[in-house]
Amino acid sequence: MELRQLRHFVAVVDCSNLSRAADRVAISQPALTRSIKNLEELLGVILLDRKPRGVVPTDAGLAFYHHAQVVLNACQRLTREVRQLEKGVTGTVYLGVAVMFATHVTSQVAQNLSEQHTGLGLVVNEGYFEDLMRQMLDGRLDIIFSNFPSVGIASELVLEPLLNIHAVVIAGRAHSLASRRVISHADLATQLWVIADQPHAQDSFDRYFSSEGLPSPRKVLKTNSLSLTLSLVQSGKFLAFYPEHMIEESLRNGNIVRLSLSGSTLDRQAGLIYRKGTLSQAAIAYVAAEFRRVSLQVGSTTYLGS
């Protein structure tokens, strides 16, 4: 199947007349008739009913017409955006980034964009998921790179997963569980915890323990400071869920340890969030494409609750 066949068919349906459709696509009527016949033979269905005063699509033809329009419109957008990229992308994109990705992934994306397209402006706002969503719904953000919520979001928004994320529990070297080879959920439930002061973090925390039929720990300190969270864990008194890529140096230095857990785990996804139709804007589409490319290079990461 070729794009020109789709154009020919759409023209016939739009014009309801083979002669007018042939003029529209600048070919002879016999050539247009052959093109439609070849398309019908390829699909194995009749797409058009020939009437005394013109042609009308069959039920199959009408369904095919709508799909053909989607394909042709997408090709037009692609052509337009590629040509714009050739000239150099311009404009300013307002990007929201979850705190655990402020350096991870995002820093590489920002560097690449600044080197490749000097005319593209990028304004980056770091925050937690709930804050970023409010800014997007208010129109202050064009696109978000974040962990995904466990609950539904507004229908006008699109979630595009790019990374798989997995829970990691960390403790200070002096913590009583640090030297244990295997640790159960029941062991964790009696400990002191520090978690992010955000609804999605509390929800993830509760579901982690409820999956094993346990109530959530009551001894919980909440903060939106990642540095304070890490400091409390290093004290040897608290446990926390923390992005593994943000603690590589602490793990190497031996200040904290990653606990070995038995039983169920909590897996989540992260990626792009944007309004439907937003990627028709070349600058935003290019930022999204760069996040896809860098995320593919990075691969899977680990995180829960920040």
Of the segments 10-14, 75-79, 89-93, 198-202, which one has the largest average pLDDT value? Answer: 10-14
Mean pLDDT (the chain, rounded): 83
> Which pLDDT score is estimated for 266?
65
Task: Characterize the bridge pairing of strands 220-223 and 91-98.
Answer: unpaired
Residues pairing with 126 in the sheet? 97
Residue range 80-102: average pLDDT? 74
**Could you check whether 3-86 and 89-165+269-298 share the same CATH topology?**
no
List phi, psi (to 5°) of 90.
-125, 165
Mean pLDDT across the stretch 10-25? 86
CATH number for the domain whose boundaries are 3-86 = 1.10.10.10
Residue-range domain boundaries for the chain: 3-86, 89-165+269-298, 168-265
Q: What pTM value is reported for the model? A: 0.61
Under DSSP, is residue 77 helix (H, G, I), strand (E, B) or coil?
Answer: helix
Residue that wins the pLDDT comparison between 40 and 95: 95
- Residues 100 and 226: their CA atoms lie apart, in Å, by 9
**Helix (H), strand (E) at residue 157:** strand 157-166
Query: Which CATH topology does 168-265 take?
Result: D-Maltodextrin-Binding Protein; domain 2 (3.40.190)
E runs forming strands in the chain: 48-51, 54-57, 91-98, 120-127, 143-147, 157-166, 169-172, 192-196, 220-223, 238-241, 256-258, 267-275
Judged by DSSP in three states, 220 sits in strand
What's residue 262's pLDDT?
67
Q: Are strands 192-196 and 238-241 parallel, antiparallel or unpaired?
A: parallel
pLDDT of residue 306: 39
Task: Please answer whether residues 217 and 188 qualify as being in contact, where contact means their C-beta atoms are separated by less than 8 angstroms.
Answer: yes
Beta bridge partners of 48: 57
CA-nearest of 78, 102, 16 to 289 is 78
Contacts of 225 (CB under 8 A, 6+ apart): none
- Decide if 273 contacts 210 (C-beta within 8 A): no
Q: What is the pLDDT of residues 130-188, one digit of tens each?
A: 889 888 887 889 999 998 877 777 788 899 998 877 768 899 999 999 988 888 888 89
CATH of domain 89-165+269-298: 3.40.190.10
pLDDT band of residue 286 (cuts 50, 70, 90) is confident
